[in-house]
Amino acid sequence: MKAAKSGVWLLLTIELALLGSLSGCRNATGLPRPDHIIIILVDALRPDHLGCYGYAGNVSPNIDRLARGGALFENAYSNAPWTKPSVATLFTSLYPNVHRAIDRFDTLSEKALTLAERLKKDGYFTGFINNGNALLHNFNYDQGFDFYDYSESLDSTMAVRTFSSFLNQAEGRKTFVYIHLMDTHLPYHPAESNRNLAATLPPDFRPGALDRDKIRELTSSGKLGEQDKQSLISLYDSQIRWADQRIGELVSALESRRLLRTTLLLLTSDHGEELWDHGNYEHGHSLYEEVLRVPLIMTGPGVPATRLRSRVRHVDILPTIMESVEPGFRTDGLAGRSFSPYLKRDKGKRFVFATGTIHGDEKYGLIEGDRKIIINTGYREKKRKLIGPHSADAVELYDLARDPHEQKNLRFDERQVLGRLMKEIARLMDATPAFQPGKRAIDKETEERLKSLGYL
Task: Show pLDDT as tens, one digit a residue, over the chain (456 residues).
Answer: 444 444 444 444 444 444 443 334 555 455 689 999 999 999 999 999 999 999 998 999 999 999 999 999 999 999 999 999 999 999 999 999 999 999 988 999 999 999 999 999 999 999 999 999 999 999 999 999 999 999 999 999 999 999 999 999 999 999 999 999 999 999 999 999 999 999 999 999 999 999 999 999 999 999 999 999 999 999 999 999 999 999 999 999 999 999 999 999 999 999 999 999 999 999 999 999 999 999 999 999 999 999 999 999 999 999 999 999 998 999 999 999 999 999 999 988 999 999 999 999 999 999 999 999 999 998 888 788 888 888 889 999 999 999 999 999 999 999 999 999 999 999 999 999 998 877 888 888 888 888 888 887
- Neighbour-count burial for 132-141, b at 16+ CB within 10 Å, e otherwise: bbbbbbebbb
Q: Quick check: is 441 in a domain?
A: no
Q: Quick check: is 454 in a domain?
A: no
Compute CA 139 distance to the chain's CA centroid, rounded to the nearest angstrom: 18
Q: Quick check: is 15 in a domain?
A: no
Residue 243 domain boundaries: 25-350
By the 8 A CB rule, do 243 and 268 touch? no
**Residue 33: what residue type?**
R
Bond before 187 cis per omega within 30 degrees: yes
Q: Quick check: is 150 in a domain?
A: yes
Q: Quick check: is 372 in a domain?
A: no
By the 8 A CB rule, do 145 and 118 touch? no
Q: Using CA atoms, how far apart are residues 176 and 279, in angstroms rounded to an integer?
A: 40
Those residues whose C-beta lies under 8 Å from the C-beta of residue 99, and which sit 6 or more positions away, are 85, 88, 89, 92, 108, 109, 112, 433, 434, 435, 437
By the 8 A CB rule, do 288 and 41 touch? no
Q: How many residues does the chain have?
A: 456
Q: Using CA atoms, how far apart are residues 180 and 131, in angstroms rounded to an integer?
A: 6
By the 8 A CB rule, do 364 and 377 touch? yes
By the 8 A CB rule, do 19 and 299 touch? yes
According to DSSP, residue 115 is labeled H
Helix (H, G, I), strand (E, B), or coil: what is residue 208? Answer: coil
Q: Quick check: is 335 in a domain?
A: yes
H or E element, residue 263: strand 263-268
The CA-to-CA distance between both ends of the chain, in Å, stands at: 43
Instruction: Tell the burial category of 98 from Cβ atoms under 10 Å away from its Cβ (0-12, 13-18, 19+).
Output: buried
By the 8 A CB rule, do 368 and 421 touch? yes
Q: Using CA atoms, how far apart are residues 138 and 152, in angstroms rounded to an integer?
A: 13
Q: Quick check: is 421 in a domain?
A: no
Q: Quick check: is 7 in a domain?
A: no
Q: CA separation (Å) from 246 to 36, 68, 222, 235?
A: 19, 18, 37, 17
According to DSSP, residue 385 is labeled P
Half-sphere exposure of residue 198, counting CA atoms within 13 Å on the CB side? 18
Task: Write the DSSP string, 275-328.
Answer: ESTTS-EESSS--SHHHHEE-EEEESTT--SEEEEEEEEGGGHHHHHHHHHSTT
Tell me the backbone φ, ψ of residue 451, rounded to 5 degrees.
Answer: -60, -40
CATH number of the domain within which 120 lies: 3.40.720.10
Total domain count, the chain: 1
Q: Using CA atoms, how far apart are residues 84 and 76, in angstroms rounded to an integer?
A: 18
